[in-house]
Amino acid sequence: MQIPPFSLEAQISEIGDEIEEALIKVFRSGKYIGGEEVASFEKAFALATETSYSVSCNSGTDALILALRALNIGQGDEVITSSFSFFATAEAITSVGARPVFVDIDSKNYLMDLDLIEKAITPRTKAILPVHLFGHPLDMDKIMAIAESNNLKVVEDCAQAAGAYWRGKPVGSYGDIGCFSFFPTKNLGAAGDGGAITTNDFDLAKTIRELAIHGMPKRYFHTNIGYNSRLDSLQAAILNVKLIRLNKWIEQRKEIAINYMNQLSAIDSIELPSNTFVNNSGHSWNQFVIRIMDNSFIKNIKSNSDDVFDNLNRDLFKTELHRLGVNTIIYYPIPIHLQPAYKNLEYKEGSLPVTEKVCSQVISLPIFPELKSIQQSYVIDKIKELFKK
């Protein structure tokens, strides 16, 4: 058996016909930018995130850039965030001219360690940019309290967390601005790039809408240097079909996650993801990430271990799983602060020890709503085989 890490085409049997119909409707309308589909998606997305306004844009990266620009964050400013994220989180901060300041992560949930935020604040700090990584919601009450007492803005990176919530409220509804991505592998994925911001602030929504269209509040009248960052009408049509199914798909992901948790909990060498089902909070399970804590599986592997033995245990484990037909992805092998592109920030190896350690141990197991129970069992059996005593 071959198990893919994700399968985007698995949704075709459920929604293929509806999507085709929606796409043809847009195509025949001749309205490819803006129009009804974009407007109705924005309305529905604001409703789904329990916010007053949602403005769509071209990507999650753009959503972050637009959010920071609308908050007037730029040259000379610092933004506190996590180095354990997709590169775009920090890239957006740098693109507006500000400096990302990384705090280490919590070793249990892999999210920004909230106890380290206040120590990282300087007179130049303008905002906190928390990342709900893998779909695990952060404690937004704590973050908002820290932001308030230090007069900081909060931009939530919800790229992997559409549908996740903290104490009964969706992520993206707590901070000044929430940023979402509709990249195909996210929980709410388009057939291409897409993104959106959410906010309860009318002025911020208005500014972001203008910035996304060349800083142009009226046609050919430009008040700002902006961007060309719109959600295509065709992508909006697809997202409208998918949004109404998002919660159902998350439930399916959650069932898979619970199955993995139950079945793998007896293996001491595997650290399972933390679960925050307490406090009426919910994970979106965009990824199911485990940590390989030791090399006790080595005696059971069949691959020629000589040439890979020097590798990290995790890489060897991944190679062996791949050989057995279970395909996985590493989110993320290198923390952002150690990426060559950020040499200039002068973070040394060892400066964020938990982040660095976790990056060397994590591996994401296959998870997507259509992953059948027989496939889940296959993944579980192969892992159990590798760790059998």
Applying CB under 6 A, the span of 105-113, 152-160, 214-222, 276-284 interacting with ligand PLP comes to 152-160
Query: In the complex, what is the shortest distance from the CB of residue 62 to ligand PLP, in angstroms, rounded to a whole number?
Result: 7
Let me know if 186 is a catalytic residue: yes
Distances (CA, A) of 186 to 5, 158, 284, 343, 372: 13, 10, 10, 29, 19
**Hey, what amino acid is at 212?**
A
Nearest to residue 365, comparing CAs of 302, 255, 288?
A: 288
Kindly report the CA angle at 123 between 120 and 127, in degrees rounded to 5?
A: 65
Q: Which is nearer to ligand PLP, 242 or 375 (CB)?
A: 242
Q: Which is nearer to ligand PLP, 57 or 270 (CB)?
A: 57
The least distance separating ligand PLP from the CB of residue 58, rounded to whole angstroms, comes to 8
- Tell the smallest beta-carbon distance from residue 388 to ligand PLP (Å): 35
In this structure, the dihedral spanned by the alpha carbons of residues 21, 24, 26 and 28, taken in order and rounded to 10 degrees, is: -140
Q: Does 134 interact with ligand PLP (rule: CB under 6 A)?
A: no
Distance CA 389, CA 379 (A): 18
Q: Tokens at residue 70, please?
A: 């609308």
The CB-of-127 to ligand PLP minimum distance in angstroms stands at 15
Residue 260 binds ligand PLP, judged by CB under 6 A? no
Find the catalytic residue in 153, 186, 254, 318. Answer: 186
| Shortest Å, Cβ 155 to ligand PLP | 11
Q: What is the 3-state secondary structure (H, E, C) of 18-86?
A: HHHHHHHHHHHHCCCECHHHHHHHHHHHHHHCCCCEEEEECCHHHHHHHHHHHCCCCCCCEEEEECCCC
Q: Using the minimum distance from each CB to ligand PLP, give the nearer residue, 132 or 314.
A: 132
- Pick from 130, 175, 195, 226: which binds ligand PLP (CB under 6 A)? 195
* Number of residues near ligand PLP (by CB under 6 A): 15
**Least Cβ distance, residue 89 to ligand PLP (angstroms):** 5
Three-state secondary-structure class, residue 296: coil
User: Residue 125 in contact with residue 105, Cβ under 8 Å?
Assistant: no
Q: By C-beta, is 131 or 270 nearer to ligand PLP?
A: 131
Which helix (H) or strand (E) covers residue 101, if one does?
A: strand 99-103
Residue 89 vs 376, nearer CB to ligand PLP: 89
| Of the candidate residues 102, 183, 342, 368, the single one contacting ligand PLP (CB under 6 A) | 183
Q: Which two tokens stand for residue 57?
A: 């844009």
Residues 48 to 107 in contact with ligand PLP, rule: CB under 6 A: 59-61, 85-86, 88-89
- Residue number closest to ligand PLP, CB atom: 60
Q: How far apart are CA 156 and CA 173, in angstroms?
A: 9
Query: Interface with ligand PLP by CB under 6 A: which residues?
Result: 59-61, 85-86, 88-89, 131, 157, 159-160, 181, 183, 193, 195
**Catalytic residue numbers, as ranges:** 186
